[in-house]
Amino acid sequence: MSTLTSAANPSRGLRWDAWAIVLWIGAGLIMAAFLWVLLDLLGRGLGQISWSFITEAPENAGRAGGIGPILVSTLLILMVCLAIAVPLAVGVAVFLSELLPHRSRLRRIVQISLDALAAVPSVVFGLFGNAFFCIQLGLGFSILSGGLTLACMVLPLLIRTTESSIRAVPQRYRLAATALGMTRSRVILRLVVPLAVPGIVVGTLLALGRAMAETVALVFTSGYVDRMPGSLLDSGRSLSIHVFDLAMNVPGGDANAYGAGVVLIFALLVINGAVLCLAKTWKARSGMAITAAT
């Protein structure tokens, strides 16, 4: 395009080129910032990574030893969070997008509430989780409380992305299915939701990322304990809390903080890659076009 316009109108072509440079610089700056953080982290933390660091329990408040129990706790918290949040989000999203009339007032109210909820700072979620799950329901500082609090926190995001990916399934497929004598519930269950899966996966990924990086809300709910959890009702320290704790509260914990940071980043990258792989095999198996819903 730029060559075409510059041939017809040199001054306009020049402006395009100037814009292109600005855009390239912008993109480059973002890349550079990301690489800086990543390289800094890797440079300082990679040396800490070893099999024993991954599997062993922390010693001397985390200055020595590894992050084994912390990884287990993090995993359990995330599992609780997603096990609750994903089904709930899909249900609410189907209700909002398929069952409620398009201009329904209830839909507007729910959406506004969700947007408001998404803007609530995580510390408020932490306090709510502490008051409701830990104290009111008597779950105490536990992995369950932490997971449930995180579920509340990511729910608005998850519902929004799921709803929009369900909405993105073109109406003509619903009509085609209806015209083939499929009932409403089957159209939703067998066609619309499966077609929205790539979008739901992307939403889940975003939620997972947000949950994994969450620190404050967990301080109030899942607690600080760095022992290996025996059950979901035990307190457990998440990776992000561990990084925070080592960096801020434990003099001499920097090295292991960087090590844990590297593991956190690595876990996020692995999750991303795994989901991409899954989506690819799933697409090959079902023949579902991943672009159909995103």
Partner 1 sequence: MPGKDLESEIRHGHHGGNVMTVAQPCIEPAAHREPERHLWCISDLTVSYGEVIALSSVSLNIKENSVTAVIGPSGCGKSSLLCCLNRLTDFIPGCCVSGRILMHSKDILGGQIDDTRLRKQVGLIFQKPNPFPLSIRRNFELPLREHGIRDRQEIEHIMQSTLEATGLWKEVKDRLNKPAHQLSGGQQQRLCIARALSLRPDALLMDEPCSALDPISSGQVEELVLSLRERYTIVIVTHNLSQARRLGTDVALFWLRDGKGTLVESGPASQVFEAPRDDLTKLYLRGAIA
Q: Which residues bind partner 1 (CB under 8 A)?
A: 100-103, 167, 171-173, 175-184, 186, 190-191, 195, 286-289, 292
Report in angstroms how near the CB of residue 284 gets to partner 1 at its nearest: 9
**Alpha carbon distance 41, 34 (integer Å):** 11
Question: Is the CB of 134 or the CB of 202 nearer to partner 1?
Answer: 202
Could you give the C-alpha distances from 199 to 134, 154, 172, 222, in angstroms and in order? 33, 15, 19, 30
Report in angstroms how near the CB of residue 279 gets to partner 1 at its nearest: 14
Question: Is the CB of 103 or the CB of 105 nearer to partner 1?
Answer: 103
**Alpha carbon distance 132, 135 (integer Å):** 6
Question: Is the CB of 51 or the CB of 103 nearer to partner 1?
Answer: 103
Report in angstroms how near the CB of residue 118 gets to partner 1 at its nearest: 23
Question: Is the CB of 12 or the CB of 186 nearer to partner 1?
Answer: 186
Report in angstroms how near the CB of residue 83 gets to partner 1 at its nearest: 28
Report in angstroms how near the CB of residue 96 gets to partner 1 at its nearest: 11
Report in angstroms how near the CB of residue 38 gets to partner 1 at its nearest: 37
Tell me, what amino acid is at 66?
G
Report in angstroms how near the CB of residue 205 gets to partner 1 at its nearest: 21
Question: Is the CB of 5 or the CB of 111 nearer to partner 1?
Answer: 111
Radius of gyration of the chain (CA): 23
3-state secondary structure of 225: coil
Question: Is the CB of 7 or the CB of 102 nearer to partner 1?
Answer: 102
**Sign of the four-CA dihedral 229, 52, 208, 44:** positive
The DSSP secondary structure of 122-190, one letter per residue, reads HHHHHHHHIIIIIIIS---SSHHHHHHHHHHHHHHHHHHHHHHHHHTS-HHHHHHHHHTT--HHHIIII
The answer to whether the CB of 66 falls within 8 A of the CB of 52 is yes
The DSSP secondary structure of 2-34, one letter per residue, reads HHHHHHH-HHHHHHHHHHHHHHHHHHHHHHHHH
Question: Is the CB of 182 or the CB of 268 nearer to partner 1?
Answer: 182
